[in-house]
């Protein structure tokens, strides 16, 4: 059973960096790009990090805010043939590290923990499932969620981050996939 040690939110210093816009202006544009990428490279593989702290003895998942209302876990697509854990470390450095690599503490290394769940996109649609449907022979995307063990204290550079409970609640109430991600993490805490 995956386990994580949670440290208080106060142990971390949060900074900001210039917004990193989404690659696609709409969901349909993203699905079209997925279709094009699938033709050239096959199934897309992506990874996301679950970073958790606690405040008032209640766990909080650190998320990135895109625009004014969309939240997502830090992560991205992997290069063809790239190892999931090494790729996730590189993505976290890019997304959460400072612009100037000299400012990054070289002793701090992302400690990638257990895989919490795997999600599959069977078609060129936005829906993902925690299994490959029986009729699907070529899934279009595989997304893996990993717990990332944070050090007891650190400087983390993120952009447009809010940890307000109502915002997190809005994220997790958006739909089945978000709820299932939260449930998978909850099982890891028990």
**pLDDT surpassing 80 at residue 16:** no
Please state which CATH number belongs to domain 9-189: 3.90.79.10
Q: How far apart are CA 69 and CA 167, in angstroms?
A: 8
**pLDDT surpassing 50 at residue 72:** yes
**pLDDT surpassing 50 at residue 165:** no
Helix 165-172 and helix 176-189, axial crossing angle in degrees, nearest 10: 110
Q: How far apart are CA 46 and CA 84, in angstroms?
A: 8
Residue 131 confidence (pLDDT): 96
What b-and-e string marks burial along 78-101, b requiring 16 or more CB atoms within 10 Å of the CB? beeeeebeebbbbbbeebbbeeee
Give me the DSSP letters along 30-58. HHHHHHHHHHHHSSEEEEEEEEEEEETTE
Query: Lowest-pLDDT range, 16-20, 21-25, 128-132?
Result: 16-20
**Nearest alpha carbon to residue 181 among 114, 129, 140, 124:** 129
Q: For the residues 92-108, what does the mean pLDDT come to?
A: 70
Percent of the chain at pLDDT exceeding 70: 68
Q: Per this entry, what is the length of the chain?
A: 190
Q: How far apart are CA 104 and CA 102, in angstroms?
A: 5
The mean pLDDT of the chain is: 79
Percent of the chain at pLDDT exceeding 90: 41
**Contact predicate 27/128, CB 8 Å:** no
Residue 176 confidence (pLDDT): 41
- pTM beyond 0.85: the answer is no
**pLDDT surpassing 80 at residue 109:** no
**143 pLDDT tier (thresholds 50, 70, 90):** very high
Q: For the residues 72-100, what does the mean pLDDT come to?
A: 89
**pLDDT surpassing 70 at residue 188:** no
Residue 185 confidence (pLDDT): 53
**17 pLDDT tier (thresholds 50, 70, 90):** low
Q: For the residues 81-101, what does the mean pLDDT come to?
A: 86
């Amino acid at each position: 059973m995956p386990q994580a040690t949670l440290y208080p939110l106060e142990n971390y210093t949060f900074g900001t960096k210039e917004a990193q816009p989404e690659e696609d202006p709409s969901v349909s544009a993203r699905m079209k790009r997925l279709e094009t990428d699938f033709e050239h490279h096959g199934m897309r593989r992506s990874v996301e990090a679950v970073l958790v702290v606690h405040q008032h003895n209640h766990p909080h998942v650190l998320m990135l805010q895109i625009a004014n209302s969309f939240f997502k876990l830090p992560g991205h697509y992997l290069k063809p043939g790239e190892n999931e854990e090494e790729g996730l470390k590189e993505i976290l450095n890019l997304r959460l590290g400072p612009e100037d690599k000299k400012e990054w503490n070289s002793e701090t290394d992302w400690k990638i923990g257990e895989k919490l769940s795997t999600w599959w996109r069977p078609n060129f649609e936005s829906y993902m499932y925690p299994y490959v449907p029986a009729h699907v022979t070529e899934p279009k995307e595989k997304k893996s969620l990993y717990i990332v063990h944070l050090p007891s204290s650190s400087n983390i550079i993120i952009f447009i981050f809010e940890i307000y409970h109502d915002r997190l609640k809005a994220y997790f109430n958006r739909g089945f996939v978000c709820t299932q991600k939260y449930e998978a993490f909850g099982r890891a805490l028990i």
